[in-house]
Amino acid sequence: MARILIVEDEILIAMLLEDIVTDLGHDPVGPMMRLQTALDAAEREAIDFAILDINLAGQQSFPVADRLMRRGIPFIFASGYGQAGLAEAYSTIPVLQKPYDAAQIARAIPADSTGHSR
Amino acid sequence: MTPLNHPGADPFYFLGHDGSVARLVKDFPWGTTCLSRVETWPQSLKTATALLIHSPVPMVMLWGEQGVMIYNDAYSVFAGHRHPALLGSNVREGWPEVAEFNDNVMKVGLAGQTLAYQDQELTLHRKGYLEQVWMNLDYSPVLDESGRPAGVIAVVIETTERVLAERRNRQEFQRLQSLFAQAPTFMAMVSGPDHRFTMVNPEYNKLIGNRDVIGMPVREALPEVTEQGFFDLLDHVFTTGEAITRTSLRVLLRWRDQGPLEERFVDFVFQPIRDQDGTVAHIFVQGSDVTERVRAENHQRLLINELNHRVKNSLAAVQSIVTQTLRHATDTSQASQAITARIMALSAAHNVLTQENWDSADLRTLAQTAIHPFQAPDRQTFDLDGPDMRVGPYAAISIALALHELGTNAVKYGALSVPGGTVLLRWNVSGKSVFNLEWIETGGPLVTKGDHRGFGSRLILQVLPDQLQGKAELDFRPTGIVFKLTAAVDAISDHAA
Of B72, B3, B14, B65, nearest to B38 by C-alpha is: B14
Contacts of B401 in chain A (CB under 8 A): 11-12
Q: Please compute the mean of the pLDDT values over residues B368-381 and round it to a whole number.
A: 90
- On whether any CB of chain B is under 8 Å from the CB of A115, the answer is no
DSSP-derived letter for residue B2 is P
Chain mean pLDDT for chain B: 89
Contact call for A15 and B459, based on CB within 8 A: yes
Q: Can you say how many angstroms the Cα of residue B292 is from the centroid of all Cα atoms in its chain? A: 12
Q: Do B397 and A99 touch (CB under 8 A)?
A: no
How far A38 CA sits from the closest chain B CA (Å)? 11
For residue B7, pLDDT beyond 60: no
Query: What is the reported pLDDT for B330?
Result: 85
How far from B164 is each of B51, B95, B119, B132, CA to CA, in Å? 32, 23, 11, 10
CB contact under 8 A, A37 and B392: no
- In chain B, list all ranges with CATH 3.30.450.20: 13-163, 183-289
The sign of the dihedral angle between the CA atoms of B378, B380, B381, B384 is: positive
**What residues in B contact A80, CB-CB < 8 Å?**
308-313, 316
On whether the CB atoms of residues A11 and B459 are closer than 8 A, the answer is yes
Flag whether residue A47 sits within 8 Å of chain B, measured between CB atoms. no
Q: What is the per-residue DSSP string for B420-457?
A: T-EEEEEEEEETTTEEEEEEEEESS-------TTSHHH
Rounded to whole angstroms, how far apart are CA atoms B134 and B307?
75
B405: pLDDT strictly greater than 90? yes
State the CB neighbour count (10 A cutoff) for residue A45: 15
Indicate the burial class of A78 (C-beta count within 10 angstroms; 0-12, 13-18, 19 or more).
buried
Q: Over range B386-391, report the average pLDDT.
A: 92
Q: Give percent helix, percent strand, percent coil of chain B, each to the nearest 5.
A: 45, 25, 30
Contact between chains at B313 and A13 (C-beta distance less than 8 A): yes
Q: Describe chain A by its helix, strand, coil percentages, rounded to 5.
A: 40, 25, 35
Predicted local distance difference test score (pLDDT) of residue B497: 40
From the list A10, A80, A82, which residue is nearest B394 (CB)?
A10
Type of residue at B319: Q
pLDDT tens-digit profile of B408-439? 999 988 999 988 899 999 999 998 889 999 99
Percent of all residues in chain A with a pLDDT value above 90, rounded to a whole number: 46
CA distance A42 to A79: 19
Q: Looking at CA atoms only, how far is residue A98 from chain B in angstroms?
A: 6
Cβ neighbours of A37 in B, within 8 Å: 469, 497
Q: Among A8, A9, A12, pick the best mutation site for testing chain B contact (most B Cβ within 10 A).
A: A12
A99 touches chain B (CB under 8 A): yes
Q: For residue range B249-284, list pLDDT tens digits in order.
A: 999 998 887 888 889 999 999 999 998 888 999 999
pLDDT of residue B1: 45
The residue count for chain A: 118
Over residues A16-47, the pLDDT tens digits come to: 999 999 999 999 998 998 888 899 999 998 99
Beta-bridge mates of residue B122 = B133
> Number of CB pairs < 8 Å for A and B?
93
Strands (E), chain A: 3-7, 27-32, 49-53, 55-56, 59-60, 75-79, 95-97
Task: Check if A89 contacts B (Cβ < 8 Å).
Answer: no
Mean pLDDT of B115-123: 93
pLDDT, residue B496, reads 46
Nearest to B309 among A14, A34, A81 (CB): A81
Burial B238-271 (b: 16+ CB within 10 A, else e): beeeeebeeeebebebbeeeeeeeeebbbbbbbb
Topology of domain B183-289 in CATH is Beta-Lactamase (3.30.450)
Residues in B touching A97 (Cβ below 8 Å): 312
Q: Do A34 and B467 touch (CB under 8 A)?
A: yes
Rounded CA separation B324/B313 (Å): 16
| Sheet with strand B68-71: strands edge to edge | B68-71, B59-63, B149-158, B130-143, B115-125
pLDDT recorded at residue B358? 79
Residues 6+ apart with CB under 8 A from B435: B427, B428, B429, B468, B470, B485, B486, B487, B488, B489, B492
Lowest mean pLDDT among A88-92, B298-302, B384-388, B492-496: B492-496
The region of weakest confidence among B8-17, B60-69, B77-86, B201-210 is: B8-17
CB A108 within 8 A of CB A94: yes
DSSP line for B297-341: HHHHHHHHHHHHHHHHHHHHHHHHHHHHHHHT-SSHHHHHHHHHH
User: What's the whole-number mean pLDDT along residues B342-366?
Assistant: 90
pLDDT attached to residue B10: 78
Q: Chain A: give the shortest CA distance to residue B448, in Å.
A: 25
Band the pLDDT of A118: cuts 50, 70, 90. Answer: very low
Does the pLDDT at position B441 exceed 50? yes
C-beta neighbour count of B146 within 10 angstroms: 8
The residues of B whose Cβ lies within 8 A of any Cβ of A are: 305, 308-313, 315-317, 319-321, 323-324, 327, 346, 392, 394, 397-398, 401, 455, 458-459, 463-464, 466-467, 469, 491, 494, 496-497
Q: What DSSP string describes B32-50?
A: GSTT--GGG--HHHHHHHH
**Contacting residues for B181 by C-beta, under 8 A, at least 6 apart:** B201, B202
Q: Is the reported ipTM for this assembly greater than 0.90?
A: no
Rounded CA-CA distance B205/B354 in Å is 43
CB contact under 8 A, B401 and A12: yes
Percent of chain B with pLDDT over 70: 96
Q: Which of B313, B324, B469 sits opposite A10 (nearest CB)?
A: B313
Q: What are the structural domains of chain A? A: 3-112 (3.40.50.2300)
pLDDT on residue B461:
92
Q: Which of B323, B464, B491 comes nearest A34 by C-beta? A: B491
Report the pLDDT value the prediction gives residue A114, as an integer from 0 to 100: 61
Give the model confidence (pLDDT) of A76-85 as tens digits. 998 877 666 6
The average pLDDT across B182-190 equals: 91
Is B330-492 CATH 3.30.565.10? yes
DSSP B247-305: EEEEEEEE-STT-PEEEEEEEEEEEEEE-TTS-EEEEEEEEEE-HHHHHHHHHHHHHHH
Q: Which CATH superfamily is domain B13-163 in?
A: PAS domain (3.30.450.20)
Terminal CA-to-CA distance of chain A, rounded, Å?
Answer: 10
